[in-house]
Structure 1
Amino acid sequence: MAFATTTDGIRLFYETAGTGTPIIFVHEFGGSHWSWEPQLNAFARRHRCITYAARGYVPSDIPREVDSYSQARAADDIIDVLNADGIDKAHVVGLSMGGFAALHAGLRHPGRVLSVVAAGAGYGAEKAHEDYFRGISEQVARNFQEQGPKVFAPIYAEGASRVQFQDKDPRGWRLFADRLAQHDPLGAANTMRGVQMRRPSLYDLEAEFKRMEAPTLVMTGDEDDHCIQPGLFLKRTIPRCGFAVLPKAGHTLNLEEPELFNRLLAEFIAQVEAGRWGPRDPRANPAQIMRTN
C-alpha cells in the first residue's frame, strides 16, 4: 500500500496504474479511491493513472479536528499525492466534491495542472441556496455520526440526483451504497463540515476563474439540477472551458454513464494534448443571434 504524507502530516492512501501522461482522479463525498475503477480500467492503457482516498476516508488518516479539513487543503492534497508519486504535472479529474477540489487546484497550483475536469460540481454554489445547503450539510454530518453509515448510507444514496444511477444500474448502485456504508462516521462528518459547508461559492471566485488558464471541461447530468446553472457559469467565466450535459443523467456521472464519461474525457485530453482546446473564438459573440453585415 502506498501513502503520501501531506504538508500538514496527514497520510493519504493512493494507488496507481499504467504509464503515460498522468491523470489524477479525485473522488466525491459519497465515494473514495474505489470510485474510479471504470476510468482506471480504460485510461491506464495509455496514461499514468492515480487515485487516492481523501483525508477522512479509510485507509487514509482520519483527522479528529474539523479544522484539518478545508477546500484549500483538499486542493493542496492533490499536489501532495502527485509529489509522492514523483509527478510534476497531471490532468486533474474530479467529481462533485472532487470537482471543486480540481477547480481549486487549477486556481492554486496552475503550474502543476495540465487540465481540469469538474463533473457534477455545483452543490452549494447557487447563491440563493447557500444557507439551505449549509443547513442540510450539517444534518447529513449529524446523521453519519448519530445514525451511523450503515443506517444512513442507503438514505443518502437515494437522493434526487442518485436515483438515476439506481434505475439504470441497480447492481452498480448497490455496490456504491454498500461501500458508502463503510465510510468512517467521523471522517464523513468532518469532511461535510470542514470542506462542504465552508467552501466558497463558485460565483464568489469569478475574478479568479476569469484568469484561470488551464483547459477545463465541466460535465453535468441534465437531472443534476443544482449543478446545471453553476456549470453554465463556469463555461461563461473560465476562458478555455467546455460544457458537456449528459442526457437523462444524475450526479454519479462516472459510474452511472461510464462509457459516455470516458469518451468525453478521452476526447478532451486528446484535444488538450494536441493544443486544440483554446479559448472561445471572439467572433462567437453570445450577444449575437444572427449576423447581418
Structure 2
Amino acid sequence: MPFIDQADARLYYEETGSGYPIVFVHEFAADAREWEHQLRAFSRDYRCIAFNARGYPPSDVPADAVRYGWESSRDDLLAMLNGLKIDKAHLVGLSMGAYTALAFGMRHPDRVSAIVAAACGSGSPPSLRANFIRDAKNTAQAFLELGSAALAEVIGHSPTRIQLKRKDPRAWAEFMSHLREHSAEGSSHTMARYQAGRPSLWSFEAELRRLRLPVLVAVGDEDEPCVEASLYLKRHLPNAGLWMAPNTGHAINLEEPAAFNQVTGDFFSAVGRGAWRRGFADG
C-alpha cells in the first residue's frame, strides 16, 4: 500500500491517471473509496489522488486526541502534496474535506489552482453553532461507547443522508459498509477535535474575502445544515460560483455523480482556459 509519511501519522493514498493533479479530500463519514465515481471520470484527463485522513485506516490512527484537528488536516494535505512532489493542484473537498481545502487555500494559496468546496460549513451559522458543538461532542463519545457499526445506522438514516438510500440503494449500502468499518477511536477523535473544535467559517470572513482563487461552492438543497454556509461562501469569496443540486442531501458526489462530475469538470475547464470570471464579492 502506498503511504505518505507525515510528522506523526502515515497517510494512505490512491493515485490514478496522468496530467494536471487533482487531490480529493473526503468527508467525516467517508474515506477515499467514496471518490470512486470521480476518480474513474477525472483520471481520463487528470492525475487524481485520494487519501485517507488520519484516523481512517489504513492511514494511522493516533491514540493521542491532540494529534487530530482541522490544523492537522490542513498540514496533512500539505504533506500529501509535498510527498507526491506536486507544486500546485486543484482541490475537491466534501464537508470536512471542503473545510480542509478552504483552510489550505487560505494558508497556502500558491499551492492551489482551484477549489471545489462541496457540502461545506455545517455548524458555522451563529444560530446553529452551540447545538452543533454539543452534538459533535456527544457523537464523539457515542463512537467510543457504541462503536462504528451502531453509529453508522444513525448517520446513514439522518435527514441529510437518507436521500442517497432513496435514490441509489446500492450506493447507500456500499457507503454504509465502508462507514461500519471505520475506526471508532479515529472517528471519535476526529469528531471531538476537528468537528467540534474547528472555528466557524464566519470567523474567517476577512481571509475569505482576500482569497482570490477560483472556487466552486456545491451544495444539495436538502442539505439544510450547509445551505446557509454555502450562501455565505458565495457572498464572501470574490471568485466563487454556487451550484445547488435539487432534491439532494449531504453526499452530493454520491447522490448525483454524473451531475457533480459534469459541473466540476466544466469548472476546471473554465479555470484552465482563464474563463472563470470573478464574482461580485470583491471586498
TM-score range relative to shorter protein = over 0.9
Tell me, in whole angstroms, the C-alpha distance in 1 between the residues paired with 2:109 and 2:29: 27
Provide closer, same or farther for how the CA distance between residues 281 and 137 of structure 1 changes in structure 2, counting only shifts above 3 A. closer
Tell me, in whole angstroms, the C-alpha distance in 2 between the residues paired with 1:280 and 1:234: 11
Please state whether the residue corresponding to 1:115 is helix, strand or coil: strand
Q: What is aligned with 2:160?
A: 161
Q: What percent identity do the matched residue pairs reach? A: 42
Tell me, in whole angstroms, the C-alpha distance in 2 between the residues paired with 1:151 and 1:204: 34
Please state whether the residue corresponding to 1:124 is helix, strand or coil: coil
Deviation at 1:252, TM superposition (A): 0.3
Please state whether the residue corresponding to 2:23 is helix, strand or coil: strand
Cα shift readout 1:207-261 (whole Å, capped 9, x = no counterpart):
0000001110000000001111111111010110000000000000111100000
Q: What is aligned with 2:84?
A: 85
Tell me, in whole angstroms, the C-alpha distance in 1 between the residues paired with 2:68 and 2:276: 33
Deviation at 1:278, TM superposition (A): 2.7
Please state whether the residue corresponding to 1:210 is helix, strand or coil: helix
Tell me, in whole angstroms, the C-alpha distance in 2 between the residues paired with 1:157 and 1:25: 22
Q: Which letter does structure 1 place at the counterpart of 2:222?
A: E
Tell me the matched-pair count: 282
Tell me, in whole angstroms, the C-alpha distance in 2 between the residues paired with 1:280 and 1:109: 21
Q: What is aligned with 1:54?
A: 53
Tell me, in whole angstroms, the C-alpha distance in 2 between the residues paired with 1:65 and 1:270: 42
Are residue 237 (structure 1) and residue 236 (structure 2) matched? yes
Tell me, in whole angstroms, the C-alpha distance in 2 between the residues paired with 1:206 and 1:143: 33
Q: Which letter does structure 1 place at the counterpart of 2:21?
A: P
Q: What is aligned with 2:3?
A: 3
Q: What is aligned with 1:195?
A: 194
Deviation at 1:4, TM superposition (A): 0.7
Cα shift readout 1:99-140 (whole Å, capped 9, x = no counterpart):
100110110111111111110002111111111001111111
Q: Which letter does structure 2 place at the counterpart of 1:100?
A: Y
Are residue 226 (structure 1) and residue 225 (structure 2) matched? yes
Q: What is aligned with 1:215?
A: 214
Q: What is aligned with 1:259?
A: 258
Tell me, in whole angstroms, the C-alpha distance in 1 between the residues paired with 2:279 and 2:216: 13
Where do 4+ consecutive residues of structure 1 move more than 6 Å? none
Q: What is aligned with 2:269?
A: 270
Tell me, in whole angstroms, the C-alpha distance in 1 between the residues paired with 2:77 and 2:92: 10
Q: Which letter does structure 1 place at the counterpart of 2:66?
A: D
Provide closer, same or farther for how the CA distance between residues 153 and 281 of structure 1 changes in structure 2, counting only shifts above 3 A. closer
Please give the root-mean-square deviation of Cα atoms over the aligned residues, in Å: 1.2
Tell me, in whole angstroms, the C-alpha distance in 2 between the residues paired with 1:10 and 1:152: 25
The residue correspondences of 1:82-231 to structure 2 (distance < 5 A) are 82-231=81-230
Q: Which letter does structure 2 place at the counterpart of 1:239?
A: P
Tell me, in whole angstroms, the C-alpha distance in 2 between the residues paired with 1:49 and 1:126: 33
Q: Which letter does structure 1 place at the counterpart of 2:146?
A: Q
Q: Which letter does structure 2 place at the counterpart of 1:107?
A: M
Cα shift readout 1:138-174 (whole Å, capped 9, x = no counterpart):
1111121111111221121111100111100011101
Q: Which letter does structure 2 place at the counterpart of 1:18?
A: G
Deviation at 1:280, TM superposition (A): 2.2
Deviation at 1:35, TM superposition (A): 0.9
**Cα pair 2:241 2:279 within 8 Å, conserved:** no
Q: Which letter does structure 1 place at the counterpart of 2:250?
A: H
Deviation at 1:205, TM superposition (A): 0.4
Q: What is aligned with 1:288?
A: none
TM-score normalised according to structure 1 size: 0.94
Tell me, in whole angstroms, the C-alpha distance in 1 between the residues paired with 2:64 and 2:277: 42
Tell me, in whole angstroms, the C-alpha distance in 2 between the residues paired with 1:267 and 1:110: 22
Cα shift readout 1:29-79 (whole Å, capped 9, x = no counterpart):
000011100000000000000000000000001111111111111112111
Deviation at 1:281, TM superposition (A): 5.9
Tell me, in whole angstroms, the C-alpha distance in 1 between the residues paired with 2:149 and 2:246: 31
**Cα pair 2:238 2:280 within 8 Å, conserved:** no
Tell me, in whole angstroms, the C-alpha distance in 1 between the residues paired with 2:160 and 2:280: 34
Deviation at 1:9, TM superposition (A): 2.6
